Amino acid sequence: MGNMIGTLLHLYSLCVFIRVLLTWVQHDPHHPAIAFLCQITDPFLDFFRGVLPAKGGMDISPIIGLILLQIVASAFGHM
């Protein structure tokens, strides 16, 4: 069970990473896949954006979020 949770957290981390990459390129926000990706990752990222202010115009919330996801996934993956 723990390994499955770890795997799901790793997949979610991948979704967050792809979401971050999408901010660097022009994309159609109405495309169903992109809209779904935003729908599942924005609440998580918005939490960190509310806690951590942007530094010099750079949003570091995804970095903190990804680090946290990796730590939690590692804990579940090694149970």
Nearest of 53, 69, 52 to residue 13 by alpha carbon? 69
Domain region containing 50: 2-77
Give me the pLDDT at residue 77, please.
67
Token pair in block for residue 42: 């924005």
Give the per-residue pLDDT at 79. Answer: 45
Q: Per residue of the chain (79 residues), what is the pLDDT tens digit? A: 668 888 889 899 999 999 989 988 888 889 999 999 999 999 999 998 888 777 777 788 888 999 999 898 888 765 4
pTM of this prediction exceeds 0.85: no
Q: Say how far apart CA 70 and CA 72 lie, in whole Å.
A: 6
**Residue showing tokens 């971050």:** 20
* pLDDT, position 7: 85
Q: Domain count for the chain, please give it.
A: 1
